[in-house]
């Protein structure tokens, strides 16, 4: 089974964000693989270990995203595709999906996996859009994958504690729910092996994709507060004592 | 502006977030001198359509088909595409549910359009609609506008609008108009099977008056004992944000958020939780919210009544001690 897994690189979780127009200042912060995508990658690697085939890690973005592709290769992906695009932060969900779909269409694959959503834009649309653009069946929020004869049996998470089993023919696009598996770390051997693995570079031009944006992020900003927070200061012990007072006599909840 | 809301029902009952989205639509219509229609889709859902007709709507569209009995992304996309082509709305609104996430972007793309998903509000500026949504896990908000021609597609997050503001129909009842959708079994590629719940959860956090919740800031499973001690001193239940349960450090049944339980206790004490929207939707109704986080810009402080900007590993033992002292 040949699997393409889409991995996005996003600002590191603890990175201090400085807003610049409708994006952030990228210069002084670290980046990492989007956490929901790490679960999709892990699932791809497990399917490959069980059923054979290859795993291709696909990422869209500027030069820095190569690091995320390398991380996927170090964990066990066989090769990478980098859609080099310095202007990726200005793409809308449909624009990004068109580029990814064009790269996927150039490969022979049985399954496309994505994470649930990205921790930066948080659009949460990529997998579903890929299915539409590639005219493939899809399913989202997947918590378990069983490969049957030419099709998949999937456990899908619904809301409020409900789940549903479903069947989906191959080829297909699946968006993986976070927590489906335990993500592996790259081994030293894996990191060494990754150095010899190929990363193909493609562009909007080479993919022949023209993009007409359907939406525009005008600006981003620190949200205005809806509630007035009373900050309790002092040493941890002082703050704790103040909090107990407040909870007892002001909020009256304990 | 002509607005069409795609309402969501589950097993014969309206999902409350559908009413919230109708309120959003009524407010946008008021700001743009527009009208609101709603589409009800399924099999045997005429009574549900009737329920909506008593609200202030221009029209209730009813689309029934045997192949719409169970939700599939293919059947919904095929049917709703026909509805949109017939009704010609300028703006199509959805409640931002797991089901909507599963088909709405594809539906919009099938018409060559984009969708602004997971919005928390809107503004009307000189005739232009600006949608507000969160980015960077709630650390920033963004203003987003549509480019290009209608129809436009957007979804609103749970809790973004108040369902109880839904206006009743001024003249009695909105007309219910049946629309025919052409659907073939071959359109539907995925096959939904049985619905189920995992083994019944032993803890019902929705009934807990006091909750201590931990997030990524707890760093390692061996540190959970400190939060447990604090919960015990407070007489509270211990809960967590999704990443903690994904790691297996606490069972899934203790998860608060869009994919876990939704709670509204008297006191919610958030320890090392940044306040990503997926978590916040599950607890923002709490009466008193306390947040402890070392990052003073963490979005959790936007909804907190009391905040302590500090290392949770210093605050947890201090607070446990103070609580024990106050009891004795």
Is pLDDT of B171 > 90?
no
The C-alpha of A64 sits at a distance from chain B's nearest C-alpha, in angstroms, of: 18
User: What is the 8-class DSSP label of residue A136?
Assistant: -
Cα A142 to Cα A173: distance, rounded to the nearest angstrom: 11
Distance of alpha carbon B205 from its chain centroid, rounded? 19
Interchain CB distance below 8 Å, A236 and B301? no
**What domains does chain A contain, in order, with CATH numbers?**
3-207 (3.40.50.620), 223-254 (no CATH)
Determine whether the interchain pair B144/A217 forms a contact, defined as Cβ–Cβ distance below 8 Å. Answer: yes
Q: Grade residue B197 by pLDDT with cuts at 50, 70 and 90.
A: confident
> What is residue A116's DSSP assignment?
S
Predicted confidence (pLDDT) at residue B201 exceeds the cutoff of 80? no
pLDDT for residue B214: 97
Residue B261 has pLDDT above 90, yes or no: no
For residue A115, the number of C-alpha atoms closer than 13 Å in the C-beta half-sphere is 27
Least CB–CB distance from B190: residue in A128, A166, A254: A166
What is the value of pTM for the model shown? 0.88
Q: What pLDDT is recorded for position A160?
A: 74
Unique residue bearing structure tokens 């409640």: B95
Confidence of residue B324 (pLDDT cuts 50, 70, 90): very high
B304 CB neighbour count, 10 Å cutoff:
27
As a whole number, the mean pLDDT across chain B is 94
d(CA A210, CA B106): 19
Mean pLDDT for the stretch of residues B116-144 = 94
Express each pLDDT in B44-88 by its tens digit: 999 999 999 999 999 999 999 999 999 999 999 999 999 999 999
- Mean pLDDT, rounded, for B149-173: 92
Residue B200 has pLDDT above 80, yes or no: no
Tell me where in chain B the CATH 3.40.50.1220 domain(s) lie.
205-327
Whether pLDDT at B43 is above 80: yes
- B contacts of A218 (beta carbons < 8 Å): 130, 142-145
Mean pLDDT (whole number) for B245-260: 89
Sheet holding A151-157, edge to edge: A199-202, A79-84, A55-61, A3-6, A111-114, A172-176, A138-147, A151-157, A162-169, B191-197
B21-36 pLDDT, tens digit per residue, is 999 999 999 999 999 9
Give B262-308 pLDDT, tens digit per residue.
Answer: 888 999 999 999 999 889 989 998 999 999 999 999 999 999 999 99
Tell me the per-residue pLDDT of A136-183, one tens digit each, with 9 for 90 and over: 999 999 999 999 988 999 999 988 778 999 999 999 999 999 999 999
How does residue B253 score in pLDDT terms, banded at 50, 70 and 90? Answer: confident
pLDDT value at residue B312: 97
Q: How far apart are alpha carbons A167 and B166 in whole angstroms?
A: 38
Regarding the domain with residue range B205-327, which homologous superfamily does it belong to in the CATH classification?
TPP-binding domain (3.40.50.1220)
Query: Which residue ranges of chain A lie beneath pLDDT 70?
Result: 225-226
Mean pLDDT of B218-245: 96
Nearest to A157 among B103, B137, B259 (CB): B259
Q: Do B114 and A158 touch (CB under 8 A)?
A: no
Q: How far from B24 is each of B40, B120, B165, B182, CA to CA, in Å?
A: 17, 10, 10, 30
CATH 3.40.50.620 domain range(s) in chain B: 2-187
Residue A241: phi and psi, rounded to 5, are -65, -40
Q: pLDDT class for B242, splitting at 50, 70, 90?
A: very high
Nearest residue, CB atoms, B116 vs list A215, A241, A248: A215
Angle between helices A126-134 and B73-87 (to 10 degrees): 80
CA angle A85, A89, A95 (to 5 degrees): 75
Contact B189 A218 (CB under 8 A): no
- For CA atoms B293, A121, A100, B183, the dihedral sign is positive
CATH code of domain B2-187: 3.40.50.620
């Amino acid at each position: 089974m040949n699997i393409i897994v889409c991995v996005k690189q996003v600002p590191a979780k603890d990175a201090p964000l400085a807003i610049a127009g409708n994006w952030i200042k990228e210069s002084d912060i670290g980046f990492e693989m989007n956490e929901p995508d790490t679960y999709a990658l892990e699932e791809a690697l497990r399917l490959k270990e069980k059923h054979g085939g290859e795993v291709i890690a696909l990422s869209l973005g500027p030069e820095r995203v190569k690091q995320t592709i390398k991380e996927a290769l170090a964990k066990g992906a066989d090769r990478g595709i980098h859609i080099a695009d310095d202007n990726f932060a200005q793409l809308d969900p449909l624009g990004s999906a068109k580029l990814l779909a064009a790269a996927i269409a150039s490969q022979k694959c049985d399954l496309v996996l994505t994470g649930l959503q990205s921790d930066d834009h948080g659009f949460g649309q990529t997998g579903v859009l890929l299915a539409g653009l590639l005219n493939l069946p899809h399913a989202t929020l997947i918590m378990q994958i069983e490969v049957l004869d030419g099709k998949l049996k999937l456990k899908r998470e619904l809301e409020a504690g409900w789940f549903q089993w479903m069947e989906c023919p191959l080829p297909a696009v699946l968006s993986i729910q976070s927590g489906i598996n335990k993500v592996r770390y790259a081994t030293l051997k894996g990191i060494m092996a990754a150095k010899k693995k190929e990363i193909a570079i493609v562009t909007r031009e080479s993919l022949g994709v023209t993009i007409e944006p359907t939406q525009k992020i005008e600006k981003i900003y620190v949200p205005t507060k809806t509630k007035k927070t009373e900050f309790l200061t002092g040493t941890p012990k002082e703050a704790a004592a103040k909090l107990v007072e407040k909870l007892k006599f002001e909020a009256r909840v304990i | 502006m002509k607005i069409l809301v795609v309402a969501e029902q589950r097993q014969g009952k309206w999902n409350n977030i559908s009413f919230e989205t109708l309120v959003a639509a009524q407010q946008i219509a008021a700001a743009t001198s527009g009208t609101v229609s709603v589409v009800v889709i399924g099999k045997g859902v005429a009574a549900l359509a009737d329920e909506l007709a008593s609200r202030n709507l221009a029209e209730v569209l009813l689309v029934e088909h045997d192949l719409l009995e169970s939700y599939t992304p293919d059947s919904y996309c095929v049917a709703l595409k026909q509805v949109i082509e017939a009704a010609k709305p300028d703006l199509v609104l959805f409640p931002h549910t797991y089901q909507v996430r599963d088909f709405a972007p594809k539906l919009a793309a099938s018409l060559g359009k984009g969708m602004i998903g997971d919005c928390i509000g809107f503004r009307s500026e000189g005739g232009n609609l600006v949608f507000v949504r969160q980015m960077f896990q709630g650390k920033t908000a963004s203003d987003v506008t549509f480019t290009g021609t209608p129809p436009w597609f957007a979804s609103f997050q749970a809790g973004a609008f108040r369902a109880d503001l839904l206006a009743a129909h001024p003249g009695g009842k909105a007309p219910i108009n049946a629309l025919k959708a052409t659907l073939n079994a071959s359109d539907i590629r995925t096959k939904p099977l049985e619905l189920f719940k995992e083994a019944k959860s032993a803890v019902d956090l929705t009934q807990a008056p006091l909750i201590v919740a931990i997030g990524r800031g707890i760093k390692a499973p061996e540190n959970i004992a400190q939060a447990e001690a604090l919960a015990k001193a407070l007489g509270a239940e211990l809960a967590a944000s999704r990443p903690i349960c994904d790691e297996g450090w606490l069972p899934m049944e203790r998860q608060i958020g869009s994919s876990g339980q939704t709670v509204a206790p008297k006191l919610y004490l958030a320890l090392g939780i940044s306040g990503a929207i997926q978590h916040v939707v599950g607890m923002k109704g709490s009466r008193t919210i306390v947040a402890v986080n070392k990052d003073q810009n963490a979005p959790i402080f936007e909804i907190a009544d009391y905040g302590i900007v500090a290392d949770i590993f210093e605050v947890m033992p201090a607070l446990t001690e103070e609580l024990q002292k106050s009891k004795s």
